[in-house]
Amino acid sequence: MIRVPGQPGNDLCDKQLQPTRRDILRVGGSGMLGLSLGGMLQLQASHASEGKSRAATAKSIIMVYLQGGPSHLDLWDPKENVPENVKSVFSNIPTSLPGIHFTELLPKLAQVIDKTTLIRSMSYTPNGLFNHTAAIYQMMTGYTTDKVSPSGQLEPPSPKDFPNFGSNLIRLRPPQEPMLPFVMLPRPLQESNVVGKGGTAGFLGKAFDPYTLYPPGDDMDMNKMDRINVSDLEMRADIYGERMERRARLLDAVNAGMPDIDRAVKDYKLNEYYDQALSLISSGRARDAFAIEQESQETRERYGRNTFGQSLLLARRLIEAGTRVVEVIWPKVANSDNHSWDVHVGLPDRMKRQSAPMLDSGLSALIVDLEERGLLEETLVVAIGEFGRSPQRGVSTSGNGNSADGRDHWPYCYSAVVAGGGMKRGYVHGKSDKTASAPVENPVHPSELLATIYEAFGIAPDTIVYNHLNQPRELVKANAVSALFA
């Protein structure tokens, strides 16, 4: 017989109640704490020892995803002695790397770029992906998809999709702390009405989906991060300590009263995953990490008092608390105006007054802050968009209309920044041609950058995963770029 310890119904409003069959079942189903999280943690840990590769340096990653496609010619890779409709309208400034110039839009990043690796040869060659969603999907998963809607955009997310790289990382390298393993903020990946494509665990299952933090408010609301709501990480007011402890004792009683079953499932570490889930909720570690108001006003100002800057600050707090993967998505949907990187029209004003200052302050502050706190060496930072912009202004390359001061999509050459996590410092990888149209040295395909991310965590890029049809698939069909490692 299974005996339930403690006073029956002692912590309930109706003290005459006895423990019911529902109470016992809740130990596994756990309606009160969402302890199905225990099952999620168990699933995540089940594959943690697979796919080992080089000695890992990176323990966490912040993906700064500049959805929309920033213009490399107007930020990281300006050109001189080129036709007027190619040359950036912004003047050049020197950086902390001798001979390397940025445009005037990035004065703060120009001073800290020596702490990073600058890649000037990102390229989808030979097959360009001019559609935002298709390029986002490949950058996030390493794969292309052939299912396209009549509008030319991809279909919405599907359980059959390839997993986001973050889902693969937490599956193979679950965090060691009672902490949310994968967080995505402050909005989903999106082009027009296609929301979240490339941002889920796909065929790995929902256990490996990111925890999404999308505060309410319009994309142009710069103060939305002040309204973060993480009530799902708080203990419900009606769940008292005594009641929670009684349920923990109930689990012990079930195990003690069922020795045969206990022996049969001992390899599944059920208590361990129950404890992890309980710790995540009750410790307050995750909840406290979101308390961005604990930061000094000086720090918050340095990152920028806007959605992007505060999202990067929150990313640092999450990493510091033990989160493995944080993806900060540019807080304006691709294929839109105002603050978007998709500058088909009005590039000079929009980049100078809106997007570039937020990128410059936020990313430079993140790099410096991580280093000052001793976190940069073990935290990989990747800043990249789905593609660059056309070398010539006012020319259509993707079927979109462009004004004389706008640039269209350009997947054949663009730039990225990586830092920490075992990457070189003060290094420029690759080189674009005289109009930044194509790489002339060391091209890097997005799938190769993903392979490099996996290698930084000590995971072989060709590690096999099984899709929804139980078919073997490699994490990514590419090799890491060894030249990027220190």
Residue 278 pLDDT level (bands cut at 50, 70, 90): low
User: pLDDT digit string (tens) for 29-68?
Assistant: 334 344 455 555 555 554 444 555 555 799 999 999 999 9
* Bridge partner list, 212: 184
> Is the pLDDT reported for residue 236 higher than 80?
no
pLDDT for 29: 39
DSSP notation for 315-372: HHHHHHHT-SEEEEE-SS-BS-SSS-S--SS-HHHHIIIIIHHHHHHHHHHHHHHHHH
Give the lowest-confidence range in 10-19, 120-129, 268-277, 403-412. 10-19
pTM (2 d.p.): 0.83
pLDDT for 177: 79
pLDDT for 431: 98
Query: What Cα–Cα distance (Å) separates residue 146 from each residue in 128, 152, 155, 448, 470?
Result: 14, 11, 10, 21, 20
134 within 8 A of 105, measured Cβ to Cβ: no
Q: Is 401 exposed, middle or buried (0-12, 13-18, 19+ CB in 10 A)?
A: exposed
User: pLDDT digit string (tens) for 126-179?
Assistant: 788 999 999 999 999 999 876 665 555 678 899 999 999 999 999 999 988 788
pLDDT for 285: 79
In which residue are the tokens 């080992």 written? 52
pLDDT for 127: 80
Chain-centre distance of CA 466, in angstroms?
A: 22
Give the lowest-confidence range in 38-42, 71-75, 198-202, 304-308. 38-42
> Is the pLDDT reported for residue 78 higher than 80?
yes
Calpha distance 327→315 (Å, rounded): 8
Maximum alpha-carbon separation in the chain:
87
The CB-based long-range contact list for 237-245 (8 Å cut-off, 24+ gap) reads 239/32, 239/33, 240/11, 242/10, 242/11, 243/11, 243/12, 244/32, 244/33, 244/278, 244/282
* Bridge partner list, 92: 103
As given in the structure block, the two tokens for residue 44 are: 């995540």
pLDDT for 9: 41
The proportion of the chain whose per-residue pLDDT surpasses 70, expressed as a percent, equals: 77
